[in-house]
Homo-oligomer: A and B are copies of this chain.
Amino acid sequence: MKEIKVGLLGFGTIGAGVVKLLKENASLIEEKTGARITLKALADLDISTDRGVDVTGIHLTKNADEILADPEIAVVVELIGGYEPARSFVLKAIAHGKHVVTANKALLAVHGDEIYAAARAQGVEILFEAAVGGGIPVLSAIKGNLAANRFSTVLGIVNGTCNYILTRMTQEGADFAEVLKSAQQMGYAEADPTFDIEGVDTAHKLCLLLSLCFGTRVNLKDIYSEGITSISAEDVNFAKSFGYRIKLLAIGKRDGEQIEARVHPTMIPIDYPLADVHGVFNAIRLTGDFVGPVMFYGRGAGRDATASAVIGDVMDLGRNMEAGISRRCAPLGFLDQMVTEYPIKPIGDVVTKYYIRFQAVDRPGVLARIAGALGASGISIASMVQSARSSDIVPIVIMTHEAREADIRKALAEIDGFDVIREKSTFIRIEDNLT
Contacts and interface: CB of A to CB of B under 8 A. Distances in A.
A296 B328 CA distance: 25
A319 interface: yes
Given A140-B144, A148-B21, A308 B288 contact: yes
A298 B289 contact: no
Contacts of A257: none
A312 B136 contact: no
Contact of A32 (B147, B292, B324): B147
A329 interface: yes
Interface residues of A, number: 64
A29 B276 contact: no
A31 interface: yes
Residue among A150, A293, A308, A316 facing the most chain B CB atoms (10 A cut-off): A308
A404 B141 CA distance: 39
B338 A31 contact: yes
Given A273-B273, A312-B148, A320-B328, A335 B31 contact: yes
A239 to B, nearest CB: 18
A319 B315 contact: no
Contacts of A32: 147, 333-335, 338
Contacts of A147: 29, 32-33, 312, 315
Contact of A328 (B21, B25, B129, B322): B322
B148 A28 contact: yes
A176 to B, nearest CB: 24
Contact of A150 (B28, B145, B297, B305): B28
Interface in A259-302: 271, 273, 276-277, 288-299, 302
A235 interface: no
Interface in A103-146: 129, 135-137, 140-141, 144-146
Given A32-B147, A148-B308, A328-B320, A295 B292 contact: no
A102 to B, nearest CB: 14
Contacts of A175: none
A145 B149 contact: no
A249 interface: no
Residue among A136, A294, A299, A323 facing the most chain B CB atoms (10 A cut-off): A294
A282 to B, nearest CB: 10
Contacts of A294: 135-137, 296-299
Given A25-B150, A273-B277, 10 more contacts: A21-B148, A25-B290, A31-B215, A32-B147, A140-B141, A148-B308, A290-B304, A293-B298, A293-B299, A296-B296
Interface of A: 17, 21, 24-25, 28-29, 31-34, 129, 135-137, 140-141, 144-150, 215, 271, 273, 276-277, 288-299, 302, 304-305, 307-309, 311-316, 319-320, 322-325, 328-329, 333-335, 338
